[in-house]
Amino acid sequence: MINIKEEIAKAIAMSVNLDEKELVNYIEIPPNSELGDFAFPCFKLAKELKKAPPMIATEIKEKIAIDESIIEKIEIQGGYLNFYINKQTLAKEVLTEVDNKKEKFGSVDIGKGSNVVIDYSSPNIAKPFHIGHLRSTVIGGALYKIYKFLGYNSVGINYLGDWGIQFGKVMTGLELWKDEYDLTTNTIDAILKIYVRFSKEEKEKPEMTDLARQAFKKLEDGDAEALKTWKWLRELSLANYEKTYKLLNAKFDSYNGEAYYNDKMDKVVEELKEKGLLKDSQGAKIVDLEEFGMPPCIIITSAGTTIYATRDLTSLEDRINKYDFAKALYVVGNEQQLHFKQVFKVLELMGYGEYAKKCEHIPFGLVVDKDGEKIGSRKGNSVLLEEILNEAIEKVKNIINEKNPELEDKDEIARKVGVGAIIFNDLSNSRIKDEIFDWDMLLNFQGETGPYIQYIYVRTKSVLGKAGYIPNINDVDFSKITEKEAFSIIKLLYSFSDVAIQAAEKNEPSIISRYLIDLAQSFSNYYNGYHILTEDKQVQDARLYLTYAVGTVLKTGAELLGMEMPERM
């Protein structure tokens, strides 16, 4: 498909004798389509050419030679050159590309041969999968799919929190109170209660913390009984998580958690020592980061146990060796910003500077209710993510029974819409903002929600179903879809690839969410303003193919976010 920005940049470069690659980055999309489809701000050249922007614009317009079948006119507005695309040409380019690539429309190979390692979800085992894990799972899952769409080899790592002092707490609690809890039916729930009880009691009895440290030290030292209990807790937790991952359609390439690196950390500690980075501090071993404006990075605690940073450094070295990554992304909440700054800085000091530059923490906000309160408990317990997902499905099922009780496959459709609503709500705004969790908002079929996008997609399927066919692209007369509303859709379709690239560059799935809302609303405007099924076969074929293209891209975009599209609602 023709790259119009590059065509414009090439024409401008020839008229002013400047670098085409630099100029292409200056080209903008005007906020108002009446000011053109693309705009070039001549202010950017004023200093270099030593002329006023309006004069530069006038000179470029007089000299520029550009294919009129692509750009039908150029106008000057102040210091801007405004370019108007030939509507028929763009319609042909876009819809022919849709015909050629189908669901791959918009995909590119810019990442071919490059590995992107994405560390996401990563719950702590021996605890239920609560709503706090939703954001990392959904954001990371979307980035995994977006990078893959752009030709990268995405590597999804569920870096399980399956090591650390919390296991000392659980194991000590099991030893002390196992006869007080039912460990045969709701086992994971009982274990959570033991953990919560231990955490409360250790505030009043500091000796409890010492017992937990001793229990974890036994685990680190390879005690057979401790390892047996740990393996049981890990398998139990994974089986519990898998139900939620199945609902979210989340998959991973590796479940190597912190424990995987238990026998590999000594090598990294020795490396830090050999490179003169390890220092003694109050019984602990640290890397001093004071000159970089950060507190020390603890490697070995005063109790002789490893810590998160030790395991993260070890896992990073392992990922460098295994994947030689172009990027390593850590989808973890805002509160861990300092931790990752420290780990990446230590990696750089160890001599892995090039890889340290490729590491990035992808932070995100909290899940809050409509009053801005953190959603963390319900009746004193964590809000389980599986319960939230099932509740969403049940609420959608009730809506279906009320509005369309005869609908076939109600359970399957309710699952796709309910889970899709949760996913889209999470990804609808910048990840750095807190996610507002409001049932009325996220299940709204008319607002800027997942169900609305699914509803518009189903409408495209319905129109094609009524027509009984998808036109052959060779039968489409592109001059029949040059109305303002149709052209708005075509421009949006044309920009899909750029939108996916922007989402990857900023590691921001909400860029795709926003795009899908714009595309759905644009099609809704067109649908409400024009009859797609008409007596004029040429008009109908053109409008039907445009409808098919919209449905195709809505589905592809939604799947990049992790949503599934129902075929009817």
How far apart are the C-alpha atoms of 361 and 331, rounded to whole Å? 6
- Active-site annotation holder among 5, 133, 145, 169: 133
What is the four-CA torsion angle of 213, 214, 215, 217, rounded to 10 degrees? 90
What is the four-CA torsion angle of 231, 232, 235, 241, rounded to 10 degrees? -120
In contact, 160 and 125? CB cutoff 8 Å: yes
- Active-site annotation holder among 5, 87, 92, 127: 127
How far apart are the C-alpha atoms of 133 and 367, rounded to whole Å? 10
Burial (CB < 10 A; 0-12, 13-18, 19+), residue 274, is exposed
In contact, 449 and 421? CB cutoff 8 Å: yes
Q: Give the contacts of 452 (CB within 8 A, at least 6 positions apart).
A: 444, 445, 446, 517, 520
* Known catalytic residue at 339: no
* Known catalytic residue at 73: no
In contact, 394 and 445? CB cutoff 8 Å: no
> Both tokens of residue 140?
């990371």
Q: Which of 485, 484, 480, 421 is nearest to 447 (CA)?
A: 421
> Both tokens of residue 352?
């892995």
In contact, 328 and 119? CB cutoff 8 Å: yes
Q: Which of 463, 469, 472, 458 is nearest to 527 (CA)?
A: 463
Burial 535-568 (b: 16+ CB within 10 A, else e): eeeebbbbbbbbbbbbbbbbbbbbbbbbbbbbee
Q: Which of 139, 32, 142, 132 is nearest to 84 (CA)?
A: 32
- Which residues on adjacent β-strands are paired with residue 85? 71
> Both tokens of residue 401?
């029974």
* Known catalytic residue at 130: yes
* Order of all β-strands in the sheet with 38-41: 38-41, 80-85, 71-77
DSSP 162: -
In contact, 100 and 310? CB cutoff 8 Å: no
- Active-site annotation holder among 5, 130, 169, 285: 130
- Helix residue ranges, H only, 205-307: 207-220, 224-248, 265-274
**What residues are annotated to the active site?**
127, 130, 133
